[in-house]
Each structure stands twice: as structure tokens, then as C-alpha cells.
Amino acid sequence: MAVSATNLEFDYSKYGFRNEENYLFKSGKGLTESVVRELSGMKGEPEWMLKRRLQALEIFRKKPTPLSGMWANPELAELNYDDIHYFVRAGERPQTDWDAVPQEIKNTFEKLGIPEAERKFLAGVGAQYESEVVYHSLREEWSRQGVIFLDTDTGLKEYPEIFKQYFGTVIPAADNKYAALNTAVWSGGSFVYVPKGVHVDIPLQAYFRINAENMGQFERTLIVIEEGASAHYIEGCTAPVYSTNSLHSAVVEIIVMKGGKCRYTTIQNWANNIFNLVTKRAVAYEEASMEWVDGNIGSRLTMKYPSVYLMGRGARGEVLSVAYAGKGQHQDAGAKMVHVAPDTTSRITNKSVSKNGGKTTYRGLAKVAPGATGAKINVNCDALILDEKSASDTIPFIEIEEDRCTLAHEATVGRIGEEQLFYLMSRGIGEADALSMIVLGFMEPFTRELPMEYAVELNRLIQLEMEGSVG
Amino acid sequence: MKTFPTLAELSDTTILDVSQAAGEPAWLAEQRMAAWRFFAAAEPPFWRRTDLSKFKAEQIAAAIGASATILVWERDPAGQGVVFAPLLQALHTHEAVIRQHLGTAIDSQRHKFVALNAALWQDGVFLYVPQNTAVELPLTAAFTMPAPGDAIVARNLIILDHGASVTFVEEYRSDAGAGQAFAAPITEMFLGNDATLRFVTVQTWGEDVYHIGAQKARVGRGATIEWSAVNLGARVQHVEAETALEGDGSRVEWVAATFGGGHQNLLTAPWLRHIGAKTEAHMDFKTVVKDQSYTTFDGMIKIEHQSRATVSRLEEHALHLTPKARSDSIPGLMIDTNDVARAGHASTSGEVDEEQLFYMRSRGIPRDDAIHLIVMGFFEPVLDRIPTEALRQRIAEMIEAKI
């Protein structure tokens, strides 16, 4: 039965367009010590940072590509580290005035609707194009209260003390090969500092865009939420489609002090030839709360396991994620919760859909360390496989070293029920619409946590991905 | 007792000599030599959750002859055409069927210890149940460590022809000794169409034993295996167990009870493969840990691409009795098709439910007794499957003693 999808007016091509490459600086392909020195020198960085970079480069070289094992993927063999530009500078320096951003780059973000969104509902916006942030702004009411929202390069220059205190403390370079790579060549990303007791109650947003072919983007984000403060950070990512692979390897470190709250939302819609290898980790102290809301739609291969280390009594962690894998895609996403302190709680909810030969993997760690008495963990993974070509893996690691705790893990895998389809179709809904209704319903626990604009966009993306799923 | 030289001194020529002296067929000698060559060359496996840091492989001197194998039955099944004999002995009478099956469920080159078994096995049992034959009473193969510090390498081959049914119990036991002892058993099971095997495997070694084993059942069309495992003994256990539901409509009911105490390190790695159409699996794994013990459930359910309308359910629960014990659970799922009727798993870990305790204590049951009752109740689904009263009693007593 051939049924075509409806309600698909959403213009996907707006993500796929590409601009002419017209760069101020583009490093040669491949990663050498001189690339790192040059990059650091161009940024005018302090000596300690250059040292860190060079140490990390050594670690990156020594660590093997993780092709087999617990947190590994054979598909990483497709990555050629020598065929990547590690640093591309597109604009002079981050602009705070939208009009000062180069026209071509401005066009890119105009097409993506960034300034429009800023006017509507954001407290601050950052836009990164290739290696560096080209635009950054924060509403005055927040800057007056001492909130810092800068690109990370500027953050390092203007707030060296805060930076030195926290940089690399949550995710050391030796954590994994790609964290080492990021530490060696990081550029751009966001630096957020929310002082004690300040509540930034509308979201801060960053948008990441890769435009050049064979480009490696290595943004580095550092978020510090002081005692009793709160913030919500949103990031979106896109890239045009080229025939060769690009690499996106970010590191995100978050520190949430006593009683603080942080939510970090990602909508990842990279082109289908981007390797998205990201390390995201937060530490939450006493009574603090950390939430990762993570949506993965794009990329060739995503490997991302947002983590929360619950370090203080009563801290709370949550990861809510969805993954959608279509043709040629592998979404290997998950979560890690490490309970170190007593009375800490965490919840992991993962929903994945695979279709048209795509593969989803949930990989997770739930750990209760000795002494974390009264810890409670709840893990739920649901996978939906839409056709016989697609696949789904669930690999949860559970490590319990304390008796006074409770952990519950539950996973289901299934196909779309004929009964559900029949029910909807008997009410006059076409098969394609019925299918996409069921998928959107399946993901609803995730979408309802997004700001409205994002929820609408995500639903449209998924509907679009669903196009032609019946045949 | 006669033994091979220690692994440090053993060579393929000795293995050939022993094989020839026992009058073994040439194909078997060749299998043993090939496995030994693999063993000699292979790197030791890196097992993150199995502690072999104090394991002294070079000291191992494996027994020659099947003197540790004791066969037990209430009624001799030979009258029904059933063969139940030490595998070495059965080679003389049933060579063809042994040759056809031996090593075809578990690849001898899977890792070093499997190769070691394939090279050196002496103990072990051969069980063959003819077509449409039902053996009423359980058949038991008991393996007893002859003396502390010994090493036994057992190979069990269980073959059920179409429509056959039997209960087979394998039991490993010893008294605790002073030095390191070693057991490396492998059990291969073949279920013909519509056969039924009730497989009970009970490991109650003394606390000086390293038990590194593998088990696999290949299940034919419409056949059913009821697999019950009890793991109470040994210092270190590493068991890789697999059920392959190959035939359409094949089923497994798989239950396990593991109790870690002292400094025990007990790992079970059950693999379940759904291959045929409409296969069905129910797994219920229970673990209790106390003291400084460390247990691991490292499971995987694989629903293969060619399977259809699979039903698969795993329950996996760990109960912690004291603060310092550790349990790891890795209930993995790999699904390569969307034609799944139902698949899922649930896993919980935690302490004894305070509400249950409170309920019992409010009825006048002292706290310690209440914990005993809760643990015994927790293991009951497994204990219920133990086919002989004497064995059930012995296991229950061992569990009681551990609590």
C-alpha cells in the first residue's frame, strides 16, 4: 500500500543550505603541535592554557580509538583524523550587535530563525559558526545582576580566575579520547556564570553551525551555577550535507552548587555525515538539581551520554532523551548517574525510534558508590523499531555498592501495534499520519519538556523524517 | 590421582600421548591438539568484572581419567535405550554421535579457558535420550573435587532426540581446602524437535575454587528447556551460559539464584538468542549479596534479524543484605528486527524492603527470622525447580547458613 505523508510543509532545506567558504583563517588538514600552538597564539591565550592543550594532544595521540569494548563503536573506524580542519575562523571577534555580524553568516542564522527567536523568548543568545562564536548577546536585566554569558574564548580572557578554578575539573582531558581532542583544540562554546541566588528564568541559547567541509568543531562549554541560583541553557546544532565526514566533538562541563538548578536542553540536528562525539557531565552539590534534556535527530554517529555526579546530600539528577535514527544513522545515546552522596535521586528516561535501516543504542550507567545511602534511581528505556531493516540495542550498566538504596530499571522494545494503527485508521486517519501520530505520542514525554518553539520544530522534523515510512 | 603436568610444563606431545594411551580416536586427539595450540598462543581474556589477579594458572595440574564424575539415578534408564555414561567411556560405544556434536555448540576457540577444556577434558558425562522417550526420574552427574588444590576439567554432552524428555542435574561440590583449586566445565546441550529438557546446574564448591565454565543449549523446533541455575560456592565464578532458540516455537524458562558472601566474586553471563519464529523466553535471575562479595549479572538478549514474533521477558533482581557488598547488572538487549511481539526487561537492586520487614515484625517475627524468610522467598522460584528433595534440602540449608 503506497500512502504518502501529509502535513510536511516544513522547509527542511533551510538547514541544508551551504555558504561559500570565505574565511579569515583556516588551518591545514590534520592535527599537529603547530596547529595547537598557532590556534592558541591567535587567540592570545595565557601560557597555562597552551600547556593544557599540548598535554591533551599527547593524551589524544596515546589513547586508541575506542572500536571495541564497553563504551566503544566500530563505526569510529570511518573517522580520518588527518582529513579534518581543526580550526576555522570566520569572523573578527564575537559581535554583540547583530548588524555587525558579516552578512553571509548573518544570512545563515536569519534562515535558521535565530534573531527572531531571540526577540521572542530568550534571555541571551550565542551563535557559533565553524570554530568561533560570531555573535553573543545577553539581556541587560541579567548582566546587571552579574550573570555572565559569553563565548568561552572571551570568558577565558575576561574571567581568568573563575575559568582556571573550574576548567577541566569535571571532565579532565584523560577522560576519553575525544575529551582529550577537545581539550587540545577547543574553540568557542559558551561560558555561563550565574551568581548566588540569581534566577535566570528565561532560557539562554547557543546555536552551533558547521559550514565548511571536513571541518572539526570543538566547542567547549563551562556553566557555573552558584548557590541557590538557576538557569536554563538551550543549544541547537545544524550543518549542511557534504559528501565527506565532519567531526563535532564538544565538551560541556557544568557545576551546580548547593541548592542551585540547571537545565541543559539540546536539539541536535547535524547533517547525516557528521560524527557527533560529545562528553557532557555535571556535578551537583547538596540539594542541587541538574537536568539534561537531549534530543538527537541528526548526525551519522552520535555517541553521547550526559552524566550527573551527585556529590552532595539530596542532589537530584535527570536525563530525558530521545533519539531518532534513519537511514545510515546510529544514535548511540544514553546517560550516566553516579551517586556519591546520601539521599540523592536520579531518573533516566530514554525513548528511541529507528527506521529505514537506522540503529539506536541506549548505553547507560547507574552507579551507587559506598556511602550513598538512601539513593534512588529510576531508569526507563523504550525503543520503537519501525521496520525490519532497523535495529536497537540497550546496554545498561548497573553497579551497586551500597545496600541502602533502591534502583529500578525497565526497558521495552517493540513495533507499532497493528491495533493502534487500525484504531486510528478506522477513524479516517491515513496510515502515514497515523504512524507519525503514534511516534510523536511515543516521544511526547520529551517534547512536553521543551519550550514551545522547540517542541513544534522537533515534531516537524520527526514528521519529515517519517515521510515515506509506509510503502 | 593421575594428573597432567602443570600448565607451565604441559606440552602437546603429552596430550597426544595421554589421548593415544586411552585409545581415543584420532579425530579427538587432533581436536585436543588444535585446542591446546590455541590455548598456548591466546592472550588471557580481559574480564573487567572477574578477578583473576590472584589466579595461578601455571600451578594447575588437571586430572587424568574421569574419577571425579559420579553418576546418580534412582532407576537405571538404560532399559529405555537411554545412554548415561562418562563421556570418555561412551566414546567407545557412541563415537559417531559424539563426534557429530562435540564442540559444535561452543566454539573451542572462544577464549583461553574454553580451549583449555577442549584440550584437556577427562571428566564429564554423555547423555543421549532416544526419540519420543520420556525419562521420568532425574539423572544426576555430580562432580566432586578429589582433594583441595586439584583441578578438574569436565565436558558434558547432552543430546535429546525428537520428542525426548529428561531431567538432567549437574552438581559441583567440594569441601573448602587451603590451596587454589580449579574447575573448568563445559556443558553442551542439543534439543531435537519437541524435546523437553529440565536442566539443573548447581555450583556449591568450597571457597578455594576458581570455577570458569561455559554452557550452551541449542533448542530445536517446538522444544522447551527449563534451565535452573544455583550459584553458591567458589571463590571466583565466571560462567558464560547461552540458550539459542533456533527452532520455530522453541521456548526457554530460565531461572537462577546466586548468593555471594565473604569475598566471593561470582559472575554469570547469560546470553539468549532468538533465532526461529515465535520463540519465547522468560528469564528470572535473583541475586543476594552480603559481606564483601561482588556479583555480576552480565546478560544479553539478542533478537536476530531472521526471527519473527518473538516474546522475551527478563526479570533481574539483586538484594543487598550488608553495606559493603557489590552487585553489577548489565541487562543488555540487541534487537535486529521490528517483528517482535513483546520484548523487555526489568532490573531492580536494593536492600530488603523495610515495609515487608515491618509487616513481619508486627506479627511477632524477629528481624533476623524475617530476613531469612524474605531471602528464602526471594529464591523460591528457583528452589521449586530443584527436582530431588535431598538436593533442594541441601541447597536450602546452604542458603540458610549463608544468611
pLDDT in tens, B252-282: 999 999 999 999 999 999 999 999 999 999 9
Of the listed ranges A15-24, A168-177, A249-258, the least confidently predicted one is A15-24
In a domain, B119, yes or no: yes
Q: What is the pLDDT of residues B66-104, one digit of tens each?
A: 889 999 998 888 889 999 999 999 999 999 999 999 999
Residues in B 302-321 with any Cβ partner in A closer than 8 A: 303, 305, 318, 320-321
Domain of residue B367 covers 353-403
B17 Cβ under 8 Å from any chain A Cβ: no
pLDDT higher than 70, residue A126: no
Residues in A 310-369 with any Cβ partner in B closer than 8 A: 368
List for chain A the helix, strand, coil content (%; round to 5).
30, 35, 35
B338 Cβ under 8 Å from any chain A Cβ: yes
Mean pLDDT along residues A59-65:
94
Domain of residue A213 covers 13-304
Nearest to A414 among B325, B330, B342 (CB): B342
Residues in B 167-206 with any Cβ partner in A closer than 8 A: none
In a domain, A337, yes or no: no
Residue A9 binned pLDDT confidence (cut-offs 50, 70, 90): very low
B76 Cβ under 8 Å from any chain A Cβ: no
What is the pLDDT at residue A211?
A: 64
Of the listed ranges A98-107, B203-212, B273-282, the least confidently predicted one is A98-107
Largest Cα–Cα distance of chain A, in whole Å?
69
Cβ neighbours of A408 in B, within 8 Å? 346-348
Contact (CB<8Å) B343/A400: no
Cβ count near B65 (within 10 Å): 15
Cβ neighbours of B342 in A, within 8 Å? 414
Cβ neighbours of A390 in B, within 8 Å? 338
Mean pLDDT along residues A354-378:
94
Nearest to B330 among A391, A397, A414 (CB): A397
In a domain, B232, yes or no: yes
Residue A96 binned pLDDT confidence (cut-offs 50, 70, 90): low
| For A376, nearest residue in chain B (alpha carbons) | B350
B350 Cβ under 8 Å from any chain A Cβ: yes
What is the pLDDT at residue B34?
A: 95
Nearest to A387 among B320, B334, B338 (CB): B338
Mean pLDDT along residues B338-366:
89
Instruction: In whole angstroms, give the CA distance from residue B129 to residue A60.
Output: 59
| SS3 at position A65 | coil
Contact (CB<8Å) B335/A70: no
Residue A108 binned pLDDT confidence (cut-offs 50, 70, 90): low
Mean pLDDT along residues A35-58:
93
In a domain, A314, yes or no: no
Cβ neighbours of A414 in B, within 8 Å? 340, 342-343
Cβ neighbours of B334 in A, within 8 Å? 391-394
pLDDT higher than 90, residue A366: yes
Of A38-47, A151-160, B95-104, give the range with the top mean pLDDT: B95-104
Tell me which H or E stretch contains B217: strand B209-219
Instruction: In whole angstroms, give the CA distance from residue B134 to residue B24.
Output: 31
In a domain, A393, yes or no: no
Domain boundary among the residues B216, B247, B278 is at B247
In a domain, B114, yes or no: yes
Task: For Cα atoms B240, B241, B243, give the angle at the middle one, nearest 5 degrees.
Answer: 145
Q: Copy the grid coordinates of residue A373.
A: 545511602
Residue A143 binned pLDDT confidence (cut-offs 50, 70, 90): confident
* Buried/exposed code over B330-355 (b: 16+ C-beta within 10 A; e: otherwise): bbbbbbbbbbbeebbbebbbbbbeee
Contact (CB<8Å) B328/A407: no
Q: Copy the grid coordinates of residue B298.
A: 552480565
Q: What are phi and psi of B331, to 5 degrees?
A: -85, 90
Nearest to A395 among B303, B328, B332 (CB): B332
| CA-wise closest residue to A184 among A328, A117, A86, A262 | A86
Mean pLDDT along residues A143-171:
91
Nearest to B351 among A386, A404, A411 (CB): A404
Nearest to A409 among B303, B331, B338 (CB): B331
B345 Cβ under 8 Å from any chain A Cβ: yes
| CA-wise closest residue to B140 among B121, B161, B167 | B167
pLDDT higher than 50, residue A6: no
Q: What is the pLDDT of residues B8-64, one digit of tens each?
A: 899 999 999 999 999 999 999 999 999 999 999 998 888 889 999 889 888 899 999
Nearest C-alpha of chain A: how many angstroms from B387? 32
What is the pLDDT at residue A236?
A: 78
Nearest C-alpha of chain B: how many angstroms from A419? 12
Residue A112 binned pLDDT confidence (cut-offs 50, 70, 90): low
Instruction: In whole angstroms, give the CA distance from residue A362 to residue A393.
Output: 6
Nearest to B339 among A388, A397, A411 (CB): A388
> What percent of chain A has pLDDT above 70?
80
> What percent of chain A has pLDDT above 90?
48
Instruction: In whole angstroms, give the CA distance from residue A304 to residue A171.
Output: 14
CB B205 within 8 A of CB B236: no
Of the listed ranges A466-470, B353-357, B362-366, the least confidently predicted one is A466-470
Nearest C-alpha of chain A: how many angstroms from B190? 28
A-to-B residue pairs, Cβ atoms closer than 8 angstroms: 122
What is the pLDDT at residue A118?
A: 55
Mutate to test the interface with B, among A68, A337, A359, A401 (most CBs of B within 10 A): A401
What is the pLDDT at residue A470?
A: 46
Q: Are residues B22 and B137 in the same domain?
A: yes
Q: Where are the beta strands (DSSP E) in B120-164?
A: 125-129, 139-144, 151-152, 155-160
pLDDT mean across residues, chain A: 84
Q: What are phi and psi of B373, to 5 degrees?
A: -60, -40
| SS3 at position B68 | coil
In a domain, B101, yes or no: yes
What is the pLDDT at residue A471?
A: 34
Mean pLDDT along residues A438-462:
79
CB A30 within 8 A of CB A81: yes
Query: Structural domain tally of chain B?
Result: 2
Contact (CB<8Å) B340/A383: no
In a domain, B267, yes or no: no
Cβ neighbours of A469 in B, within 8 Å? none
pLDDT higher than 70, residue A109: no
> What percent of chain B has pLDDT above 90?
81
pLDDT mean across residues, chain B: 94
What is the pLDDT at residue A124?
A: 64
What is the pLDDT at residue B295?
A: 97
A397 Cβ under 8 Å from any chain B Cβ: yes
In a domain, B238, yes or no: yes
Contacts of A158 (CB under 8 A, 6+ apart): A150
Contact (CB<8Å) A386/B338: yes
In a domain, A295, yes or no: yes
In a domain, B18, yes or no: yes
pLDDT higher than 80, residue A469: no
B337 Cβ under 8 Å from any chain A Cβ: yes
Q: Copy the grid coordinates of residue B263.
A: 569475598
Q: Copy the grid coordinates of residue B358.
A: 515491618
Nearest C-alpha of chain B: how many angstroms from A464? 21
Mean pLDDT along residues A341-349:
96
In a domain, B36, yes or no: yes
Contacts of A436 (CB under 8 A, 6+ apart): A5, A462, A463, A466, A469
What is the pLDDT at residue A4?
A: 36
Query: Structural domain tally of chain A?
Result: 1
In a domain, A460, yes or no: no
Q: Copy the grid coordinates of residue B5.
A: 603436568
In a domain, A365, yes or no: no
The residue written with cell numbers 565436558 in the block is: B155
pLDDT higher than 50, residue B210: yes
pLDDT higher than 80, residue A437: yes
Contact (CB<8Å) A414/B343: yes
Domain boundary among the residues B247, B274, B306 is at B247
Contact (CB<8Å) B349/A407: yes
Mutate to test the interface with A, among B47, B330, B333, B345 (most CBs of A within 10 A): B333
In a domain, A411, yes or no: no
Tell me which H or E stretch contains A221: strand A220-225
Q: Are residues B234 and B359 in the same domain?
A: no
Domain boundary among the residues B231, B247, B263 is at B247
In a domain, A356, yes or no: no
